[in-house]
Each structure stands twice: as C-alpha cells, then as structure tokens.
Amino acid sequence: QVQLVESGGGLVQAGVSLRLSCAASGGIFSSYAMGWFRQAPGKERESVAAISWSGGNIYYVDSEKGRFTISRDNAKNMVYLQMNSLKPEDTAVYYCAARRDYTGTRYYRGPYEYDYWGQGTQVTVSS
C-alpha cells in the first residue's frame, strides 16, 4: 500500500511559477510509475503529466508541453511538478497518483490506470 501526500499548492497570480511535490511512503517507490492529474470544478479529472519509474519516459498533455515539468527523485521517494507561467485556467485541485509497474519504461495517462491517489493540493491562479 502506497500513501501519497501532495504539497506546494496555493493562491498565486498569473505568470508566476509553482512547484508541487508528492511524497510517497509505504512501498518501493522506484517500482511505481507516477502521474499528476488535475480537476477543476465541474470538470473531469485530467492527466497533466506522467513519468516512468526509471524517469526515462515522460508524458505531457499537449496543452502543457513547455510549461510543466515532471521529475522524480527515487532516493527521496518524491515526485515533482514544476509549473511555469501559470494561467487562471490552471486553477484546479492537483493530484499525484501511483501504480505498480514492472517494466520501468512505461508511463500511464488514464486516471483509471492508477491504483493510489493523494488527497490533492489546491492551486488557484488569479488574473
């Protein structure tokens, strides 16, 4: 059983940067593929970025390529989402998610593909 705790959200103005962190415990972190999702009010949860447990394969949703960066530190059991040039439409609850992966090279994009979720961290971007 993996426990995930997100942090780093907050209320910010448009144009600034935020780094979200996700701390994992209770499992062998380096064997889990990780993902970041967000859910805005009245909308479905959507994938933002995903990373294989090796860190060698990464996915970004097209709309965030070049603005968001996902990374992980397996020694610290952490995964990060660096978000630059934030926009009001980035306002959402951001979740990290984990799933066991035996390949080391796969990432996963769909929320249904993940087994473990954090409680989320709110990001609010004002214009």
Tell me the C-alpha distance between 73 and 75, whole Å. 5
Q: Does residue 75 carry a pLDDT above 90? A: yes
Mean pLDDT in residue range 13-35: 94
Tokens (6 digits) for 104: 């080391």
Tell me the C-alpha distance between 51 and 40, whole Å. 22
- The confidence score (pLDDT) of residue 1 equals 83
Q: CA 15 → CA 27, 38, 126, distances in Å?
A: 36, 19, 9
- The confidence score (pLDDT) of residue 34 equals 97
Q: Does residue 118 carry a pLDDT above 90? A: yes
Give the confidence band of 30 by pLDDT, cuts at 50, 70, 90: confident
- The confidence score (pLDDT) of residue 22 equals 98
Of 24, 30, 12, nearest to 83 by C-alpha is 12
Q: Does residue 105 carry a pLDDT above 90? A: yes
- The confidence score (pLDDT) of residue 27 equals 80
Tell me the C-alpha distance between 119 and 113, whole Å. 17
Tell me the C-alpha distance between 56 and 69, whole Å. 13
